[in-house]
Structures are given as structure tokens and as C-alpha cells.
């Protein structure tokens, strides 16, 4: 038995124990090879040392490929951090490691929705989903509503009723009920061409079609015109609500047979939530798969879902449960874990703070609220008590994610800074998941080298910005007027100081 320092799993082939280090080596040994292999976190083949993903930076539009630290291993996150230092970065390409060139790029417009960038979807922040694998930092793909990736001209991906397997490792705490956080097989036209034209892993708590037990979120299969938790669009009590932080989610299908499987990606084994015949409503038997690949969107480019993707593959052939067990052991051995979402000067929970702008000519202005409007005003020690109160905030544990923070108004307790249509506003906490998420921000080292930049948890390409003295969450060079590149780094950098009140 060879001992490897990297994650490994063994498979008994004809009585010989073979040590294999990547999920796609295991699928190949099971005679169901990967035809697409996507991961921003690690190599999915023992021998893979090529590019995992490409980042594009806001300062000059330059791109860089991020590779594993060595063949078969975790991504070199430090190379991204260096390339993106002092600016913003998005994930512009997620490369296919299978050798078939099935790379994922910015999703094009589709039948359900056109994205905000001349019809194209948004790209994900390169820093929205930091994790560690066996203690080494890597970044996942944090999909906010409006973001998505696609490839409509693939090679080797199942079409028609051909067999395939799909798995994805995702964040079980980042989801919504929008359609549809998917990874898998979809239409090549970006349009709904009918039932049975998709076969993708779905994760979220959409209850418009199928449901499982409890309130969700659930792993389901998007087969077009329906999210399936089991045989037909219905409730399948055997498909459980899942709350693990890291999840392995599986959908696989072959002629008149398909399955949903899942488990905790950091421990234990997989369970089968459905395995049986195809739906007997029209269109699903036989299937009419088209072979495009989507991530974070529906087959018709529905773009209202959110979720986080770390790694996933699509295979040729219907993987055996034994092969998937070996893959699950490999994922567990990769040791996914959470890491800090913040950096820079500490913004401590319980402290009373103010935000001073750093843009030259505006650096005596502070973020304040006037009623529900959040804008900037010049505030000094001799300002009125009213104005001082309007510009003072208490740092609270993040309402939507305890690893980040929320900002409660000093003079209006119970009201917090949130974003709404990407503008900042002060609103009373209404107790909804939407409010919690929109009021959660992750302070990081200031992008212009001073103080802090305040990143939106739910839209991590976007940071607190003052623009024409009004508060927004802005992405560098994004589609909104207040996303303008001019003086972006200064406008999104703040000195977090003591409060006035």
C-alpha cells in the first residue's frame, strides 16, 4: 500500500488494490469516465496540473489562470490573492479538466431572462466563497441571483437518452427558492425546448414543482418543466431537507432509470433519496438531453437562484453506487472546511462605529441615514446631536451569516443597513431570510490599501460605495451607473472609526 500525503481512495480492480487520488480517476476505473470536470478548489485527476479557472481583474481587465499547487492537489489561492491585490476579481472561466474542452463561461441570454451585461449573466466574485481543503485556502464559486455559467457546444456529454452521472459539492447553507441553482445537462439553445431536455442537479427550497420532507432545501433533479424529488413532480418524503455546510449532491440517469443521492461532503457515506423509473408524464421517457452544461442557472437562463459550487463532474455512463462511494470517500478525504470571510482592520461585534469616506475631496464625509435613505454628509465634532446619531452604527453579528456582520442604526435601534436594488437603505429588521442576507456584510482589507472595504455577503462582487453622495453596493465596471470604474477603489474604501454617538 502506497502512502500518499494527498487525499486518496483505493479501489479493488481484479483483486489488485490501486491507489487513486482524484474523483475522475475513480470514475474512469468504474468505466464511467468524466466528460466534464469543474472545480475551482482542486484538481479532480491525480495527474492534473493544468488551469482550474481563470480570474479577471477590475483594474485593467487582465486575466490569470489559477492552477493547482502541484498535480492532483488544491488550487493555488495565493496566486489569485497576489494577482487581485488592490483591485477586484471575478471568475471568468471554469476550465474542464477532462481534456474535452468543456469549459464554463459567462452565461448567454436565454428564453427566461437576459442577464444584465448586454444580455449576459454576471460573473461570480473570485473571493465570495473562501474555504480550506486540508487546511489550504481555496475559493468556490458564489452564485448570486443574476450570475451563471454555461457551455452550449460540448464534447462527449450525454445527449438523447444516453446515460450519465453528475455530482456537485455545494454549500448547504447558501440557497434560495428562485429558479434554479443547477449544475448539469441543459439545452444548447438557452431556451426551454420541452420536458426531458435537461438532466441537472438542483439545490434549493423551490417548492413550485417537486418537494421533499420538511421545508427544504432539497437536492432534486431539473429535467426541464419540473424539479423532481422522485418519480413524478410530487412530494417525495424520502428526499430529506439538508442542512450540512458542505454537501455532495448526485443525479444520474439512463434509459428508464434515474436516481438522486446525497450526503455530507465532510463525513460519512451517501444515501439514495430516489432510484427508479423515469417520470411517466409526457416527455421524460425517453429523455431528450441536449448536452449543454449549466452552472447556477436554469436551462432557459432563469437567473433568480443563488448557491455555492466547489467542484463537480459529469460522466459518460451510469456510475455504480460503488464508484460513487469511492468518490464520496475521496471528497471527504479532501477535508473541506470553512475559513474567515473577513480581513483587514477588525470590525468587532458590539463596537460603535462610523464610516468615513477616503475619496480625495470627500474624506470628511461619513455614511449616514436620513430616514431610510443612506448617503454621506460632512460630520464633525461640532455637528448636531441629530446628525451624529444618524452617522453612528453598532456592529452586530451578521444576521444572514454569523461569520460576517450587520450594522444597526444607533438612533433607530432595530433598523439596519441593507441593500435593496443595490442601493443602501435603513430598514427595520422584518425577520425574513431575505432581510438577513441583504443586511449582512463582510469587512475586508480596504481595496485602495487603507482601512476597510465592506463586501456584501449575498453579492460579493459588490461593496459599500458612495456615488454622487448616495450609498450603494457597487461592482467594479458592472452594469449599473453607480458601478462606474472611475475612482472605484477610493469610493469603496472607508475608515471604520469610533462612532459620534
Ligand X SMILES: *[C@@H]1O[C@H](CO)[C@@H](O)[C@H](O)[C@H]1NC(C)=O
Positions in the binding site for ligand X (CB under 6 A): 81-82, 85-86, 280, 370, 377, 387, 449
Alpha-carbon distance of 227 to 409, in angstroms, equals 41
Q: How far is the CB of 264 from ligand X (least distance, A)?
A: 32
Q: Determine the distance from the C-alpha atom of residue 99 to the mean position of all C-alpha atoms in its chain, rounded to a whole number.
A: 24
Minimum distance between the CB of residue 470 and ligand X, rounded to whole angstroms? 11
* CB closer to ligand X out of 82 and 485: 82
Residue 412: CB minimum distance to ligand X, A: 14
Catalytically annotated residue among 199, 222, 224, 239: 224
- Based on CB atoms, which residue is closest to ligand X, 126 or 266? 126
In angstroms, give the least distance from the CB of 231 to ligand X. 7
> Shortest gap between Cβ of 251 and ligand X (angstroms)?
20
CB of 280 to ligand X, least distance (A): 4
Least separation in angstroms between residue 90's CB and ligand X is 18
- CB closer to ligand X, 226 vs 478: 226
Contact in structure between 192 and 225 (CB atoms under 8 Å): yes
CA proximity to 306, closest of 125, 80, 165: 125
Given the complex with ligand X, which of 106 and 453 has the nearer CB atom? 453
- 374 torsion bin: left (phi>0), alpha (psi -120 to 50), beta (else): beta
Sequence-distant (6+) residues with CB within 8 A of 315 are 27, 32, 33, 34, 35, 164, 165, 166, 252
Is 164 a catalytic site residue? no
DSSP 3-state of 171: strand
Nearer to ligand X, 284 or 435 (CB): 284
Set of cell numbers at residue 459: 453579492
Q: State the cell numbers at 496.
A: 471604520
Of 84 and 221, CB closest to ligand X: 84
Q: Would residue 300 show up in a list of annotated catalytic residues for this protein?
A: yes
DSSP string, 121-151: PBPEESSSEEEEETTEEEEEEEE-TTB-EEE
**Cα-to-chain-centroid distance, residue 263:** 19
Other Cβ atoms within 10 Å of 160 Cβ, number: 12
The one catalytic residue in 96, 164, 171, 300 is 300
> Which of 56/174 has CB closer to ligand X?
56
Question: H helices within 262-372, ranges in order?
Answer: 321-333
> What are the two backbone dihedrals, phi and then psi, of residue 435, each rounded to the nearest 5 degrees?
-60, -50
Question: What sections of 225-358 are H helices per DSSP?
Answer: 321-333
Site of grid cell 459539492: 169
Residues in Cβ contact with 180 at an 8 Å cutoff, skipping those fewer than 6 apart: 200, 202, 204, 206, 222, 227, 297, 298, 302, 305
The residues assigned a catalytic role are 224, 300
Amino acid at each position: 500500500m502506497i502512502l500518499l500525503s494527498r487525499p486518496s481512495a483505493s479501489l479493488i480492480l481484479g483483486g489488485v488494490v490501486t491507489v487513486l487520488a482524484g474523483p475522475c480517476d475513480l470514475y474512469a476505473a468504474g468505466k464511467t469516465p468524466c466528460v466534464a470536470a469543474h472545480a475551482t478548489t482542486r484538481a479532480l485527476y491525480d495527474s492534473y496540473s493544468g488551469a482550474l479557472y481563470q480570474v479577471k481583474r477590475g483594474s485593467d481587465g487582465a486575466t490569470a489562470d489559477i492552477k493547482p499547487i502541484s498535480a492532483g492537489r488544491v488550487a493555488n489561492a495565493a496566486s489569485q490573492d497576489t494577482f487581485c491585490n488592490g483591485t477586484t476579481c471575478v471568475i471568468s472561466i471554469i476550465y474542464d479538466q477532462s481534456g474535452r474542452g468543456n469549459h464554463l463561461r459567462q452565461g448567454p441570454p436565454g428564453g427566461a431572462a437576459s442577464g444584465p451585461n448586454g444580455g449576459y449573466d454576471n460573473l461570480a466574485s473570485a473571493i465570495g466563497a473562501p474555504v480550506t481543503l486540508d487546511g489550504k485556502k481555496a475559493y468556490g464559486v458564489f452564485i448570486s441571483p443574476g450570475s451563471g455559467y454555461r457551455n452550449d457546444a460540448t464534447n462527449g456529454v450525454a445527449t438523447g437518452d444516453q446515460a450519465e452521472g453528475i455530482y456537485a459539492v455545494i454549500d448547504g447553507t447558501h440557497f434560495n427558492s428562485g429558479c434554479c441553482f443547477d449544475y448539469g445537462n441543459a439545452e444548447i439553445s438557452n431556451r426551454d425546448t420541452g420536458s426531458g431536455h435537461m438532466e441537472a442537479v438542483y439545490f434549493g427550497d423551490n417548492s413550485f414543482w417537486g418537494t421533499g420532507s420538511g421545508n427544504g432545501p432539497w437536492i432534486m433533479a431539473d429535467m426541464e418543466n419540473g424539479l423532481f424529488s422522485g418519480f413524478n413532480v410530487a412530494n417525495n418524503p424520502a428526499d430529506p431537507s439538508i442542512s450540512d455546510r458542505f454537501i455532495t449532491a448526485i443525479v444520474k440517469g439512463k434509459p428508464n432509470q434515474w436516481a438522486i443521492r446525497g450526503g455530507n461532503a465532510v463525513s460519512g457515506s451517501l444515501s439514495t433519496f430516489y432510484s427508479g423509473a423515469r417520470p411517466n408524464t409526457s416527455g421524460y421517457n425517453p429523455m431528450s438531453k441536449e448536452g449543454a452544461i449549466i452552472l447556477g442557472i436554469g436551462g432557459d437562463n432563469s437567473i433568480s437562484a443563488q448557491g455555492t459550487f466547489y467542484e463537480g463532474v459529469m460522466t459518460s455512463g451510469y456510475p455504480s453506487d460503488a464508484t460513487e462511494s469511492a468518490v464520496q470517500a475521496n471528497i471527504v478525504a479532501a477535508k473541506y472546511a470553512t475559513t474567515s470571510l473577513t480581513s483587514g482592520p477588525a470590525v468587532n461585534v458590539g463596537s460603535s462605529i462610523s464610516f468615513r469616506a477616503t475619496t480625495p475631496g470627500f474624506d470628511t464625509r461619513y455614511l449616514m441615514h436620513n430616514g431610510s435613505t443612506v448617503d454621506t454628509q460632512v460630520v464633525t465634532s461640532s455637528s448636531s446631536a441629530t446628525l451624529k446619531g444618524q452617522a453612528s452604527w453598532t456592529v452586530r453579528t451578521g444576521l444572514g451569516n454569523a461569520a460576517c456582520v450587520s450594522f444597526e442604526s444607533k438612533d433607530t435601534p432595530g433598523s439596519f443597513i441593507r441593500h435593496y436594488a443595490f442601493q443602501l437603505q435603513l430598514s427595520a429588521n422584518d425577520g425574513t431570510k431575505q432581510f438577513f442576507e441583504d443586511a449582512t456584510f463582510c469587512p475586508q482589507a480596504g481595496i485602495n490599501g487603507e482601512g476597510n472595504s465592506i463586501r456584501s455577503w449575498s453579492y460579493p462582487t459588490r461593496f459599500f460605495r458612495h456615488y454622487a453622495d448616495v450609498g450603494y453596493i457597487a461592482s467594479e465596471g458592472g452594469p449599473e451607473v453607480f458601478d462606474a470604474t472611475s475612482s472605484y477603489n477610493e469610493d469603496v474604501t472607508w475608515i471604520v472609526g469610533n462612532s459620534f454617538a
